[in-house]
A and B are shown apart, each in its own frame.
Chain A
């Protein structure tokens, strides 16, 4: 049973560029959440997708956007990259059908901005 998979593993971009990160949820999960984790900090909630719609959003600017596909996979897009966007981006999946269950996290995408 494959868990949450994220791609790519590492990415290097320069300021002003745009980036797309991808996430495939654990089999049977229909909800995907994205988190940003700066070095030495806990993850910060970016947004959550369910039924192909953004359901909740954290305190992140509109430069951060996302999408969920019919197969429940998801993308995180970041435009006009800033140095401060350098972080580990984590995807977590869960299901609203089975009720209270722990979320499953992927290994993340390490994004470095030069």
Chain B
């Protein structure tokens, strides 16, 4: 049974810091991995999608890496800003059905 874990559960950093969020999964047979952002009381916004054959994806200040063999992914946020404050969720898709298995998320607070 696939399980997804995110560490840390919460993180508080001063503005401008580079930071790394971690995601681990128990079964390396994944179809893809996605990182989402969720603002309080809102839905999920897709940030990055990494296919199983890829090692990383980049979008602006965000970079996500994938190491299937070790069952890990990291989301790197460069030069953090207060507007980056949100919950970041990692999810794996195990087949082409679009069913996602989520971690519990990391709550990020970027202090001005």
Contact = CB atoms under 8 A, between A and B. Distances in A.
B102 to A, nearest CB: 3
B4 interface: yes
A42 B104 contact: yes
B98 A43 contact: no
Interface stretch (B12-20, B41-49, B68-76): B41-49
A35 B43 CA distance: 11
A72 interface: no
Contacts of A31: 98
A105 to B, nearest CB: 4
A45 B100 contact: yes
A56 B32 contact: no
B91 interface: yes
B34 A42 contact: no
B98 A40 contact: no
Given A90-B44, A106-B43, A43 B100 contact: yes
A56 B46 contact: no
Contacts of B99: 33, 45, 48, 56, 58
Nearest to B44: A105
Contact of B46 (A55, A58, A102): A102
A37 to B, nearest CB: 8
25 contacts: A4-B43, A33-B98, A33-B100, A41-B104, A41-B105, A42-B91, A42-B102, A42-B103, A45-B99, A48-B97, A48-B99, A56-B97, A58-B99, A88-B41, A90-B44, A92-B98, A96-B98, A100-B49, A100-B51, A102-B49, A103-B98, A103-B100, A104-B46, A105-B44, A106-B43
Given A4-B43, A48-B97, A105-B46, 15 more contacts: A40-B104, A41-B105, A42-B91, A42-B102, A43-B100, A44-B102, A45-B100, A45-B101, A56-B97, A92-B100, A96-B96, A102-B46, A103-B100, A105-B44, A108-B43
Interface of A: 4, 31, 33, 35, 40-45, 48, 55-56, 58, 88, 90, 92, 94, 96, 100, 102-108, 110
